[in-house]
Amino acid sequence: MQWKEQDMHQYIEAQEYVDTLVIPLIPIQLEKPNEIVKHAAMSELTEYGAKAIENQFKGRIFLSPSFQYFKSSSTKLDTISLQQWIAYYDHLPFKHVFLFTFDHAWKKVERELNASLLWLPAISGKVEDAKTSEILKEQLNQMMDLIQSYWQE
């Protein structure tokens, strides 16, 4: 389910079946030209990938609006704000909480967060390119297998 009016009608009816939350992490970086492009591409991939996962598992996954954060070379990642987001969702009966990102920086602070980090290595190129989309599809398939393995526990 996505955070959309239409989906929420369904969500309200079927809440007990939707036990998995996915929060996409979207970086914003406006300092160095090549970093700007890289991070914008990363954001696009994240949004695209998150939607693809939601599409496969629509009936069980709640796709949260994206958590957006500024990324500069000088400041630390804002784990506190993100942790607050996660805590907010604690009121709801989600059994699994996943963070979805292409930014490896989160990998280093994973332990401070009360959720499972789904990290994919960033690939260069646009989603529209055949080759990039092939790689991305493969990555996403593995990610979806991983999510399913959490469900089987």
The residues that touch other proteins, with contacts defined as CB under 8 A, are 10, 14, 17-18, 55-60, 148, 151
Judged by beta carbon, residue 29 or residue 46, the one nearer other proteins is 46
* Pair 123, 136: CB distance under 8 Å: yes
Exposed e or buried b for every residue in 37-52, given b needs 16+ CB within 10 A?
eebebbbebbebbbeb
What DSSP assignment string belongs to 24-93?
EEEEE--SSHHHHHHHHHHHHHHHHHHHHHHHHTTTTEEEPPPEEEE--SSSPP-HHHHHHHHHHHTTS-
- Considering the complex, what minimum distance in angstroms separates the CB of residue 62 from other proteins? 11
Judged by beta carbon, residue 23 or residue 147, the one nearer other proteins is 147
- Considering the complex, what minimum distance in angstroms separates the CB of residue 61 from other proteins? 8
- Considering the complex, what minimum distance in angstroms separates the CB of residue 55 from other proteins? 7
Judged by beta carbon, residue 13 or residue 34, the one nearer other proteins is 13
Burial class (CB in 10 A: 0-12, 13-18, 19+), 126: exposed
Judged by beta carbon, residue 123 or residue 144, the one nearer other proteins is 144
Judged by beta carbon, residue 1 or residue 82, the one nearer other proteins is 1
The SS3 assignment for 11 reads helix
- Considering the complex, what minimum distance in angstroms separates the CB of residue 42 from other proteins? 21
- Considering the complex, what minimum distance in angstroms separates the CB of residue 33 from other proteins? 29
